Amino acid sequence: MEKTEIFNKVQAIIMEQLDKSANEVTMTTNFKGNLNADSLDVFEIINEIEDEFDVKIETDKEIATVSDLVDFVAKQIA
């Protein structure tokens, strides 16, 4: 699966969870800084990502941006 496909799915999950538009969720978007996501929001997004891609994301893994999350998923499913 290409990063573009991963990003599109990740973006859709984030948009749904946080009620954001596509232009608010880009590869450089920071969860806390740009989306005002709290730890519960990030936890819920990570749970959705784990279910969607059948991967395990350790909670201590530092994922600050959408790009961090997409890169992590890409490595896990490669």
Phi, psi of 11 (to 5 degrees): -60, -45
Which of these is catalytic: 19, 38, 60, 71? 38
Specify whether 38 is catalytic: yes
Phi, psi of 65 (to 5 degrees): -120, 165
Long-range contacts: 15-22, Cβ < 8 Å, 24+?
17/41, 17/44, 17/45, 17/48, 18/45
Known catalytic residues? 38
